[in-house]
Amino acid sequence: MTPRTRHSFFRTVRYGFMLLVWAGTLNEAYGQTNSSTNTWTGVKVQKKLDHGFRLFLNPEIRTRNGSIDKYLLETGLSYKLNKNFSAVTIYRITSEPLDTGMHTYGRIGFDLKAKAKVNRFYPRLRVRYTNIVDGDQDEPTRYLRYRAGITYNVRKSKITPFGHLEAFQRLNGANLTKWRYSLGAEYKFNKKNMIQIGYRIDDFTNKEVIRHILNTSYTFKL
């Protein structure tokens, strides 16, 4: 590892530590609500195919308050319509360890994505349809999820910071049921390997429930 790469890597770790400190501060702010501390740790494997298609496989483990909460395996296919728009189809298998045994169920999802470039900023939009939203506080019904985000290309750096805001809406009702706030950074080792560290808050609008999430994923591009 070169001195520049080592410096960038430790800077990414420092950003992750700062996110954890921020998480603790927010946890105090929401001290009067029913809150939980969660980790989402996964690996993303992507394979570029011909004619604008890309295949992906994402295994993930989620914990809640120090215990295993879910095992996930997600696969799907994305299609690049042009340089600004893409479509994605997703299938996910989720297994939850319960007192009565392992509960396993499937979920489908469809995404429409848009992105642009403004100087060194990259604004992004995503609309997702899904038949189930994960989480013991979510209603098991069809949802639309609206996400707006932005990334920033730091000059002469392998670190890319990002931020997202996402809203969850049941199709059988007009009200939004949850907001998700995300901040983080991605570190690229090279064109095919990268790590992403982020912090998320799930804020449920109809319940006094706050979910704090430390999200870590490693991406391999084949």
Residue 84: what residue type? N
Angstrom distance (rounded) from CA 204 to CA 28: 17
The pLDDT tens digits of the residues spanning 51-86 come to 999 999 999 999 999 999 999 999 999 999 999 999
Query: Which band of pLDDT confidence, cut at 50, 70 and 90, is reported for residue 33?
Result: low
Sign for the CA dihedral angle at 117, 84, 48, 75 comes to positive
The pLDDT tens digits of the residues spanning 154-171 come to 998 999 999 999 999 988
The pLDDT tens digits of the residues spanning 90-145 come to 999 999 998 888 889 899 999 999 999 999 999 999 999 998 765 555 556 788 99
* Least trusted range by pLDDT, from 27-31, 75-79, 196-200: 27-31
- Helix segments in the chain, DSSP class H: 3-29
Element (H, E) at 217: strand 209-221
Q: What is the mean pLDDT of residues 166-181?
A: 87
- Please give the share of the chain, as a percent, with pLDDT higher than 70: 81
Q: Which domains does the chain have, with CATH numbers?
A: 3-221 (2.40.160.40)
Query: Going by C-beta distance under 8 Å and a sequence separation of 6 or more, which residues neighbour residue 156?
Result: none
